[in-house]
Copies of this chain bind each other. A is one copy, B any other.
Amino acid sequence: MVKCNPNYGKLAAGYLFPEIGRRVKAFTTGNPGVKVMRLGVGDTTQPLEPSIVKAMHAAVDGLSREDTYSGYGDEQGNAALRAAIAAWYGERGVTVEGGEVFVSDGAKCDSANIASIFASDSVVAVQDPAYPVYVDSNVIAGRTASFKDGRYEGLVYLPCTEENGFVPSPPSGKVDLIYLCSPNNPTGAVATREQLAEFVEYARANGAVIIFDAAYSFFITDSSLPRSIYEIPGAAECAIELSSFSKFAGFTGVRLGWSVVPKALKGDGCGDGGLNALWNRRQCTMFNGASNVAQAGGLAALSPEGREECGKTIEYYMENARVIREGLSSLGFKAYGGVNAPFAWVKTPGVGSWEFFDKLLNECRVVCTPGAGFGPCGEGFVRFSAFGRRENVQAAVASIRENLKL
């Protein structure tokens, strides 16, 4: 019989969000007609902006006519979109060329695939808690040993705790790859310029590469906080950045993201083209470009009109974040994040995070995300997502106020 990839057997449990889905389904099946308020999965709820809708309709119309139909696009994304993304970096004072931008069908895929250009024995560091895809993709790739006492052996965990404000220091030992996410999913913490500079310094000193997930950077309003790791001098020589249209433009279902792999980024054994050429080869071989309709929408999202429209929706979500953060704080919870990030990270009152998840679901009909699902240091916390309809968010906070039995 054919042998399966044995690394799948190491995965500790079902992927977090399907597990939440199963529990919610069990609740709704057992309580027919009861409405559940979902603040769990960070899924957008506000409609696409008018300028984006217009561009997507135009793209579909273009495909409907002989003279404007187009088939395969470049695997790396269409040149105008790559240039627009590069220009967005230019506004931050950062030089990124279009040829360093790779358009994809979303940051989840890029997060999962990016490590495949590195050696299989690379030592990987992740923030704890972290987006599960960073961990699981490396487990599947065989970069860890077995799961033991809540952690994968062979993986370096960087604890994010109340004490360090949920932003860790660089590893004490030598690692090859470091996944950093800022604004952070799940904690909502945002790394300062100084904190990122420490990581850049570490990476350059140790020949490590930072995989910087900036999918939530559009939610930063404090102008002193970096929105791209390339705002830190030297980062182009040690960092890959991933980003997404999912959250800032409502593309969770439309699917569009990008990675930046600077040409200055070198690696042992990848030749003169460096990691940029290697990722280009990976994408050309194993990917066929993002949907042309999605790319047309993405280009509109980055236009001045699109950005203004998206900015209002971001404000809407951030007001939700305020409602959650302040509402829970007023009930005596310790609530973190939710200021320059669309997630609030809330300390559970003396119970485990899955237990608190079940309490909130059963007593209050509110779905959150158990912090333990993001790593052992997430135990004792739950994540609330600010993506949602205002009335739903307000009703959820009110229901917690009225129904939670503490």
- Which A residues lie at the B interface, using CB under 8 A? 1-6, 8-9, 11, 14-15, 18, 41, 43-48, 50, 53, 56-57, 60-61, 63-66, 69-73, 105-106, 108-109, 112-113, 116-122, 132-133, 136-137, 140, 142, 176-177, 207-209, 250, 252-255, 266-271, 275, 278, 281-282, 284-294, 387, 389
Q: Is the interface of A mostly helix, strand, loop or mixed?
A: loop
Q: Other than A9-B269, A53-B64, give 6 A-B pairs with Cβ distance below 8 A.
A: A2-B119, A6-B119, A14-B281, A57-B57, A66-B389, A291-B294
- Copy number in the complex reads 2
Q: CA separation between A45 and B142, bound complex, in Å? A: 42
A112 to chain B, nearest CB (A): 4
A289 touches B255 (CB 8 A): yes
Q: CA separation between A46 and B63, bound complex, in Å? A: 9
A341 to chain B, nearest CB (A): 18
Q: A3-B267, A117-B5, A122-B3 are in contact. Are A48 and B72 (CB under 8 A)?
A: no
B2 touches A292 (CB 8 A): no
Q: What residue in chain B is nearest A48 (Cβ atoms)?
A: B63
A131 to chain B, nearest CB (A): 11
Q: CA separation between A292 and B389, bound complex, in Å? A: 21
Q: What residue in chain B is nearest A73 (Cβ atoms)?
A: B253
B70 touches A48 (CB 8 A): no
Chain B hits for A63, CB < 8 A: 47-48, 53, 56, 250, 253-254
Chain B hits for A282, CB < 8 A: 8, 140
Chain B hits for A177, CB < 8 A: 2
A45 to chain B, nearest CB (A): 7
Q: What residue in chain B is nearest A62 (Cβ atoms)?
A: B47
Q: What residue in chain B is nearest A254 (Cβ atoms)?
A: B291
When the two chains form the complex, which single residue of B113, B209, B253 contacts A2, counting CB atoms closer than 8 Å?
A: B209
Chain B hits for A117, CB < 8 A: 4-5, 8
B254 touches A293 (CB 8 A): yes
Q: What residue in chain B is nearest A111 (Cβ atoms)?
A: B286
Chain B hits for A290, CB < 8 A: 105, 255, 291
A291 touches B255 (CB 8 A): yes
Chain B hits for A293, CB < 8 A: 56, 60, 254, 291, 293-294
B286 touches A112 (CB 8 A): yes
Give the top 4 A-B pairs by smallest Cβ distance, nearest first: A112-B286, A3-B119, A71-B252, A4-B270
Q: CA separation between A284 and B43, bound complex, in Å? A: 16
A304 to chain B, nearest CB (A): 20
B252 touches A72 (CB 8 A): yes
Chain B hits for A18, CB < 8 A: 284
A71 touches B47 (CB 8 A): no
Chain B hits for A268, CB < 8 A: 1-4
Q: CA separation between A49 and B387, bound complex, in Å? A: 36
Q: What residue in chain B is nearest A292 (Cβ atoms)?
A: B253
Q: What residue in chain B is nearest A281 (Cβ atoms)?
A: B8
Q: CA separation between A293 and B48, bound complex, in Å? A: 13
A288 touches B1 (CB 8 A): no
Q: A18-B284, A269-B4 are in contact. Are A48 and B69 (CB under 8 A)?
A: yes
Q: What residue in chain B is nearest A119 (Cβ atoms)?
A: B3
